Amino acid sequence: MSEGPELHPLLAEAAQGRLPDWTVAGKKRREHMERVAELLREWSTSRSESPIEVDRWTALGFLHDVLRDAKPKDLRGSVPASMSHLPGGVLHGPAAATRLREGGVTDEAFLTAVAYHTIGSPDFGVVGKALYAADFLEPGRKFRRKWRGGLRATMPEGLDAVVRTILSARIRHLVDKKRPVRPETLGFWNMLVKGRSWVSVSEV
């Protein structure tokens, strides 16, 4: 839910495509942000969210990558100590959340979604999951277009199932490449499958 009867001015401006003056994002990045914002606007409208909530979702699409083209070395000092260990390629999320918080945004679900949109978080609510899906499914991405289009067609009703499918594919890719999986990502997975029975390794 949004912070109150009105959005914070930073979010209200972003919902109209007007980004903060500290934005570091090139033309292609901004086009990606616009596509993510459009998906989130479409999905929130389909969910019959209030006009303020639709703007909140839209702002999330515009703001998630607002520092994506900044150099990691310029971002590391501006993220919380608890997140300073993250790889350079994902620092733009927590750095943007920090700048938004410093600007007076207090919507924790929104800030968590921005901070962890690349790796996922067990603390995600609906908006976090929606951003995670939209960032992956936006139509400008060129890989596995038919598969992603099929997932996109089931949104927003199939949000949880779609996010599980995306996250499963990403974890499988990391495992196949013998790359580490972030604990936040594993926590996100465990949150998504909470309540399902455990499988013994002897059954695999």
Instruction: Give 121-157 pLDDT, tens digit per residue.
Output: 999 999 999 999 999 999 999 999 999 999 999 999 9
Structure tokens at 102: 């410093």
The per-residue pLDDT for 81 is 84
Q: Say if residues 77 and 61 touch (Cβ distance below 8 Å).
A: no
Window from 4-13, 51-60, 184-193 with minimum mean pLDDT: 4-13
* pLDDT exceeds cutoff 50 at 58: yes
The per-residue pLDDT for 92 is 96
pLDDT band at 85 (very low <50, low <70, confident <90, very high): confident
Q: Which of 137, 132, 136 is nearest to 117 (CA)?
A: 132
The per-residue pLDDT for 195 is 61
Cα dihedral value 179, 184, 189, 190, nearest 10:
120
Q: Say if residues 194 and 169 touch (Cβ distance below 8 Å).
A: no
Give the Cα separation of 67 and 52 in Å (integer). 24
pLDDT band at 2 (very low <50, low <70, confident <90, very high): low
The per-residue pLDDT for 191 is 94
DSSP 6-65: S--HHHHHHHTT---TT----HHHHHHHHHHHHHHHHHHHHTT--HHHHHHHHHHHHHTT
* pLDDT exceeds cutoff 90 at 83: no
The per-residue pLDDT for 5 is 67
The per-residue pLDDT for 153 is 97
Rg (the chain; Cα; Å): 17
Hunting for tokens 């998630």 — which residue is that? Answer: 64
* Superfamily of 9-194 according to CATH: Hypothetical protein af1432 (1.10.3210.10)
* pLDDT exceeds cutoff 80 at 3: no
The per-residue pLDDT for 171 is 97
The per-residue pLDDT for 204 is 44
* pLDDT exceeds cutoff 50 at 201: no
- Name the residue ranges covered by the structural domains of the chain: 9-194
The per-residue pLDDT for 4 is 55
Q: How large a percentage of the chain has pLDDT more than 70?
A: 93
Q: Say if residues 163 and 129 touch (Cβ distance below 8 Å).
A: yes
Mean pLDDT of the chain: 92
The per-residue pLDDT for 202 is 46
Residues 6+ apart with CB under 8 A from 29: 65, 68, 69
Q: Which of 60, 75, 46 is nearest to 2 (CA)?
A: 60
Structure tokens at 120: 């996922």
Q: Which of 122, 131, 101 is nearest to 3 (CA)?
A: 101
Window from 15-19, 47-51, 55-59, 77-81 with minimum mean pLDDT: 77-81
Residues 6+ apart with CB under 8 A from 12: 6, 55, 59
Residues 6+ apart with CB under 8 A from 89: 72, 118
Cβ neighbours of 158 (radius 10 Å): 15
